Each structure stands twice: as structure tokens, then as C-alpha cells.
Structure 1
Amino acid sequence: MRWLKDNALSLAFLVMFVLALAGQAVAGTLEFNDRQVAGGGEPVSVPHFVASSDFAVDVAENWQSEYLQFFLFIMLTVWLVQRGSPESKQPGEEGGESDERQRVGPHATAASPAWARHARGPRLWLFSNSLGLAMGAVFLLSWLAQSVAGQAAHNAERLQDLRDPVTWGSYVTSAEFWNRSLQNWQSELLAVLSMVVLSIYLRQRGSPESKPVGAPHSATSTEG
């Protein structure tokens, strides 16, 4: 029970993610079959649809926009600040900060991760940037998956219309690909902007994403 309590937040989101993904699979199958029947085709099963390029492109499209959002937020908050937001560092603290503040090298403690105890070298650099690198890598991989699955789905539609398929390079430079991508990007960037700005003036009692209820609007990098 202690383990469940200590990991309740990640477990809750994991369960919601699995339920949402399963719901998308079922709803997507019903929508796909509706189009199939309308076009004179045969309906497919849920496993068949989940293995299709139609499902893969929709999932990868959402994933890449989410991880792009987190990658940009992680990297930009190193150098950019927003006065009054709990999502920002204090003005004047821009940059990678000192070794003492980051508790690396000679400033590390016995409880610090092993790679943080190195004063210099590739292991310290890699660990110091591991979160941004991981988010960027997932974004690039999901973007690649979206482009490949999207090309397959796009070519399937073209073949149904008796048109020639297009190459991967032609697809990733097409208006359809960028229309799909930018639709997701703009919504994610607006969500981050809203979080950064609204958290200056609004509160959620007990949330670490909010300032204390009584904190002044100008308070920066302060969590409730």
C-alpha cells in the first residue's frame, strides 16, 4: 500500500492513458468501419484496426506534439523567465546555474546520483541534459513514426482514388502532413502559454503547479 501511495500520481495517469488509448481504438474502429461500409468495403476488427496505419498515424501525431511541448518547455525555461509564474525561475537566474546550486561534482552529496558526482566529462553532461534529450528523442521518434504511418495511410487513400502513391520525402513536405502537425502544435503551445500566464493570477490550493493562495501575483518560482 505504501508503494501505491508513493506512486499514485504516475499510476493514475498510466491507467487513464491506457483507458483513453483503448477507447480511441474502439471509437476509431467504429468510425473506420462506417467509412468502409459506406465505400462498399468490409468492416474490420479492433485488433486489425489497431495494427493499421490509420490508427498509428493518429497516435503518433498526438504523441509527437505532446513531447514537443515538453521538450520546448524544459529547454526554454533554462534561459527564459516569466515574472510571477510558478513555472519559471526567478529573473536573473537564467542559464545552467552553478555547480554548487546544481549539487554536482564536489558539491554532490552521498545521496546524489552517481553520475552527478563527476566534476566534468561526458557522463556528467549526459546526465545533466538527460531529461531534455529523452523528451527530444521521443519527439523525433514519434514524428518519424507519424510520417511513415501517415505516408502509408495517405497512399492507401490515393490508391483508392486510382492515383499514384507518393514517396516519404514528398509526403513530409506536403500540405496535408504539415496541416496535421501544426494543428496539434498550436494547441499544445497555447496550453503551455495558458499555464504559464494564468498561474500568475489564478490559484489551485494544494497543487505544486500553483503558488500559495496568499502569494502575491509578482511572486516567481513559488509553489503551493
Structure 2
Amino acid sequence: MRKWLWFNALSLVMFGAFLIFIVLQSIFGWQVRNEELAQYGQAADSYWAYLGTGHFVEAVFENWESEFLQMGFYVLLTAYLVQRGSPESKPLGQKDRPEDYPEKATSHSPALARREGWQQVLYRNSLSIALLGLFVLSFVVHLFGGTAEYNEQQALESGAAPISAWAFLTTSDFWFQSMQNWQSEFLAVGALIVLSVVLRQHGSPQSKPVTASHAHTGE
């Protein structure tokens, strides 16, 4: 058990932190929503009812959407673009690694990596496909959650009739929510790429070795 924990410590800590923070988000969001409902003379939601509201769904998935978009594009772009001096870039002049092709597969390689044809092509691009697929899923859930929240707010404030998800997609509200997250994600990754050219973190694979030159590119 101790060995398993050691081998999986990084993902366990990350997902553990995620669970803590999303529970805290739900608790504080529940309080905020009930304060808003009280201002309009509406009955408070139970905690479990709150988890199904547009208020919570929109807040969660508009952030997930930007995270998966950023990571999906980051994985894809680093396959083709380089940044001199950054460990986040592949080495200058490197095109494709021989290990990326089925003829270099061994008995220890994943089964799909040893196959020819569309299955092997799909597997070669599976990471970016999965991340961008999660972006699309999060985008759609954000859209429907945002529509529900928008309609409720309009009903509370002015008694306006609800609009469709398609209509909400064309509003500035929806795109403002998305853009305020998208821009921050690309800023953060861009800052990591550039700062890692000259700055170091001992022991981290996201950093070059402390003694490496600023021009050294790649891990």
C-alpha cells in the first residue's frame, strides 16, 4: 500500500485538492445563492438541491471548459511549435521521435501503439483528442447550466420569459464568462513557458536542471 501511494502520490494529491476545493466551492456558492434568493423573498435551497442548479453547474463548468481548452491546445501546439530555452518545449530541430512510430514498438509498448492503420493514428493523438473532447463536453454543460442560471436571474429581476440555450449562446453574458477564463489560462501557460527559460525549480520536471544554460531547450 505504501508503495502504491508513493507511485501515485502526485495524482492523489491533485485529485484530493480538487475534491476539497470543489466541496468548499459548493458550500460557499450555496450560501451565496440562498442570500440572493432571500433578497427576492424566495425560499432557500437545500444543499443537495443547489448542486443541480444553474448557479453551481455554470460556475464549475465554465472553469473546467477553460482548463481543458488550455491543456488540449498546449499538448497539441507543443507537438509543432518550439520555444528556445524552455523546458516546456521539445528540443530545437527535433521533428518526430523514432519512438512515436510502430516500428519502434516493443513487447512493453501499449497494444494500440503496436498496431497499424487508423487505430495507431488515433492512439498517437489520443491525449489531445481526450482533452479537447473534455473541453467540448464542459463547454456544452456550461452552456446549459448558464442558460438555466440566466433564465432564473431574469425571472427574479424582471419576470422575463426564459430563453433557449441557443439564444444564450449568442449573448455577451456567455462569452464574457468564457473569455475571462480562457485568457487567464493561456496567460498562465505562456508565463510558465517564458519564465522557465531563466528561472529554475530544483527537482521539478517542469524546470530545466539548475545548472543548465538559459539556451538549453527541452527537459
Query: 2:87 aligned with 1:86, yes or no?
Result: yes
1:101 to 76, 95, 99: 99
Higher RCO structure (Cα 8 Å, ≥6 apart)? 2
Query: 2:157 aligned with 1:132, yes or no?
Result: no
1:142 to 135, 138, 144: 138
Q: CA deviation at 1:42?
A: 1.7
The farther-off stretch of 142-151 and 159-168 is 159-168
Where does residue 204 of structure 2 map in the other structure? 207
**Partners in 2 of 1:105 and 1:145 — Cα distance?**
37
AA in 2 matched with 1:38: Q
The farther-off stretch of 206-215 and 156-165 is 156-165
Q: CA deviation at 1:164?
A: 2.0
Which stretches in structure 1 are left out of the alignment for 5+ residues?
none
Q: Secondary structure at the match of 1:79?
A: coil
**Partners in 1 of 2:159 and 2:52 — Cα distance?**
24
**Partners in 2 of 1:117 and 1:101 — Cα distance?**
11
AA in 1 matched with 2:165: W
Provide the aligned length of Structure 1 versus Structure 2. Answer: 217
Q: CA deviation at 1:93?
A: 2.1
The residue correspondences of 1:2-21 to structure 2 (distance < 5 A) are 2-21=3-22
**Partners in 2 of 1:101 and 1:44 — Cα distance?**
55
Tell me the percent identity: 39
**Partners in 2 of 1:92 and 1:151 — Cα distance?**
47
The residue correspondences of 1:98-177 to structure 2 (distance < 5 A) are 100-102=98-100, 104-118=101-115, 120-160=116-156, 161-177=158-174
Which stretches in structure 2 are left out of the alignment for 5+ residues?
none
Q: Secondary structure at the match of 1:126?
A: helix
Q: Secondary structure at the match of 2:78?
A: helix
Q: CA deviation at 1:21?
A: 0.6
TM (normalized to structure 2)? Answer: 0.96
**Partners in 2 of 1:127 and 1:173 — Cα distance?**
35
Where does residue 26 of structure 1 map in the other structure? 27
